[in-house]
Chains A and B, each alone.
Chain A
Amino acid sequence: MDQTEETDAVNRDELIMQQQRQIEKEISDTIPLVSEEQPVDSLNNEYMGDDVYGSKVRDLAAKYRAIRRTRPDGNCFFRAFAYSYLEYLAGHKEDYDAFKELALKSKDKLVALGFPQFTLEDFHDTFMEVIEHVSPGENDKQELHKLFNAQGYSDYVVVYLRLITSGQVQEGADFYQNFIDGNCTIQEFRHQEVEPMYKESDHIHIIALCSALNVGVRVEYMDRGEGGQVKAHDFPEGTDPKVYLLYRPGHYDILYPN
C-alpha cells in the first residue's frame, strides 16, 4: 500500500467513525437517558399492524402498569438496572442501608482485585454521592430522575456498575469461563466486553451484577418468537425480583409491575 492509499484508508476510517458519532448524536438529541413513566401500550406505536408484538404488548400490559425507557446507547442494561434498583431502595430503608454498606466496601474489594485505585476512586465517589442523594429520607422524588438524566452522574454510575460486574467475573472466573466462547480469556472478556462504556450486556453481565449486589432481577423477554406472551426469566433463578426489566432484542427498558 503506498502512502496515498494508506492515507485514503485512514480517511475512510475517520469518515466511518464520524458517521457513527453523528448517528449517536441524533439518538442522544432525541431520546433522554431515562424517560418519564409511560403506559405499557405506548409500545404499540412501534409495532403498528404487527400481530406477534401486538399480542405480546397486551400480555405485558396485563402484568405491568408502566414502562420507563432508556436511551439505546449500549449502556441501557446498567442504566436501567441502576435506576430501577435505586428507586426501589429509596422506599426500603433496611435494604438501602445494606446496599450503601456494600457499595462503600466495594472500592477496597475492587482495588484488591487489581483495579487502579486512583482512577477507580473517581467513579466510586460519584457512585456514593448518587446513593446519598436518593436516601429514603430524601423528600424530592424527582432527584433520582434528575441525576440519571445528568450525563456526568448517570454515566459514572454505569461505569462503576461495569467495574463491579468485571470484578465479579474475575472473582468467579472458574464459573464465568463456562459462558464465554472459547477463544476469549476471562481477562479479555472483562476488558473488551464489560469495562468499556457503550458495550452491550449479555446474560453473563446480568448474572455477575446480580450476584455481586445480591439483587434479584426479572427480565421479560419480548421478541418475534411464538406464543403470544412475553417470557419472564429471573436472575438468579428462584429469587424474589426487586428490579423488573423489559428486553427486546438489543435493548433493555424499566418495567413497573401492577
Chain B
Amino acid sequence: MAGSALRRLMAEYRQLTLNPPEGIVAGPISEDNFFEWEALIAGPEGTCFEGGVFPAKLVFPPDYPLSPPKMKFTCEMFHPNIFADGRVCISILHAPGDDPMGYELSAERWSPVQSVEKILLSVVSMLAEPNDESGANVDAAIMWRDNREEFNKIARRIVRKTLGLPS
C-alpha cells in the first residue's frame, strides 16, 4: 500500500516542480522520506497576510491518497482556521464523516482525486478569506469578525516575523 502512496507522492512532487502554482513551493523535506513535506506559502496579495512567507509541514498517511495528509504551520500564525499549535483546519483535509468542525455539506472534502496542490491552493484561499463559522482559533475568529483593524495588525506583525524583520 505504501508503494502506491510513494509512487503518487513522487508524481505529485514532479508535477509541482514542473508547474508550480503561483506563491507555493512544496516538496519532501528529505528525499529519503517522501511522507513528510515542507511547503512555503506566500501570503495572498491584497490581504493582511500579503508579503509573508509561511512555512508549513505536511505529513502523509501510508494509505495516501485514500486518506488525506495532515498539515501544520511551523511559524507563528493567528487565523480563525488555524489552531494555536499551527494545525490547519479546513474541509479538504477531512474525508466526509470525519468531521471535527461540523463543516457544511457543500464544503470541499478529501477524496483520492484531490492532491497536494489542491490542498495548498485551498490554504491560500483560506488565508485570503477566513471561514469564521468553523473556528479552530476562537479568539482569532472573534477578532476577525469584530475588530478587523486589530486582526490586521497582528497579521502584519506575523508577516514581518516570517521575513525575519523586527516587529
| Contact, CB under 8 Å: A118 / B15 | yes
Nearest-neighbour CB distance to chain B for A66, whole angstroms, equals: 28
What CA separation (Å) do A183 and B65 show in the bound complex?
29
What CA separation (Å) do A199 and B105 show in the bound complex?
15
| Contact, CB under 8 Å: B15 / A155 | no
| Contact, CB under 8 Å: A197 / B96 | no
User: Is B152 engaged at the interface, CB distance under 8 Å to the other chain?
Assistant: no
What CA separation (Å) do A3 and B84 show in the bound complex?
9
| Contact, CB under 8 Å: B98 / A17 | yes
Of A152, A183, A197, which is within 8 A of B3 by CB? A152
**A126 CB contacts on chain B under 8 angstroms:** 4
**A53 CB contacts on chain B under 8 angstroms:** none
Count of residues in B whose CB is under 8 Å from the partner chain:
31
User: Is A223 engaged at the interface, CB distance under 8 Å to the other chain?
Assistant: no
Nearest-neighbour CB distance to chain A for B122, whole angstroms, equals: 14
Binary contact track A1-39/B, C-beta < 8 Å → 1, others 0: 101001100100100010000000000000000000000
**B11 CB contacts on chain A under 8 angstroms:** 118, 122
Stretch with Cβ within 8 A of A (4 or more), from B73-81, B107-115, B153-161: B107-115
**B3 CB contacts on chain A under 8 angstroms:** 152
What CA separation (Å) do A191 and B112 show in the bound complex?
11
| Contact, CB under 8 Å: A120 / B113 | yes
| Contact, CB under 8 Å: A156 / B96 | no
Given known pairs A6-B138, A118-B15, A155-B63, the reply for A163 and B113 (CB within 8 Å) is yes
What CA separation (Å) do A255 and B96 show in the bound complex?
30
| Contact, CB under 8 Å: A122 / B8 | yes
User: Is A123 engaged at the interface, CB distance under 8 Å to the other chain?
Assistant: yes
User: Is A184 engaged at the interface, CB distance under 8 Å to the other chain?
Assistant: yes
User: Is B100 engaged at the interface, CB distance under 8 Å to the other chain?
Assistant: yes
User: Is B1 engaged at the interface, CB distance under 8 Å to the other chain?
Assistant: yes
**A250 CB contacts on chain B under 8 angstroms:** none
Q: Which of A154-168 contact B (CB under 8 A)?
A: 155-156, 159, 163
| Contact, CB under 8 Å: A123 / B112 | yes
B11 and chain A: residue at smallest CB distance: A122
Binary contact track A140-153/B, C-beta < 8 Å → 1, others 0: 00000000000110
| Contact, CB under 8 Å: B100 / A199 | no
Of B8, B63, B113, which is within 8 A of A115 by CB? B113
| Contact, CB under 8 Å: B4 / A156 | yes
B118 and chain A: residue at smallest CB distance: A116
Binary contact track B1-30/A, C-beta < 8 Å → 1, others 0: 101100110010001000000000000000
User: Is B95 engaged at the interface, CB distance under 8 Å to the other chain?
Assistant: yes
Q: Which of B28-83 contact A (CB under 8 A)?
A: 63, 65-67, 83
| Contact, CB under 8 Å: A119 / B112 | yes
What CA separation (Å) do A184 and B97 show in the bound complex?
15
User: Is B106 engaged at the interface, CB distance under 8 Å to the other chain?
Assistant: yes
Of the candidates B8, B63, B105, B111, the one having the most CB atoms from chain A within 10 angstroms of its own CB is B111
| Sample of 16 A–B contacts (CB below 8 Å) | A17-B98, A116-B115, A118-B115, A123-B113, A126-B4, A151-B63, A152-B4, A155-B4, A184-B105, A187-B106, A195-B113, A196-B95, A196-B96, A196-B111, A198-B97, A199-B96
A interface vs B, CB < 8 Å?
1, 3, 6-7, 10, 13, 17, 115-116, 118-120, 122-123, 126, 151-152, 155-156, 159, 163, 183-185, 187-188, 191-193, 195-199
Q: 9 closest Cβ contacts across the A-B interface?
A: A195-B111, A13-B100, A151-B1, A152-B4, A192-B96, A119-B113, A197-B66, A196-B111, A159-B112
**9 additional contacts, CB 8 Å, given A191-B108, A196-B97, A198-B97?**
A115-B113, A119-B8, A122-B7, A122-B8, A151-B63, A156-B4, A159-B66, A163-B113, A192-B96
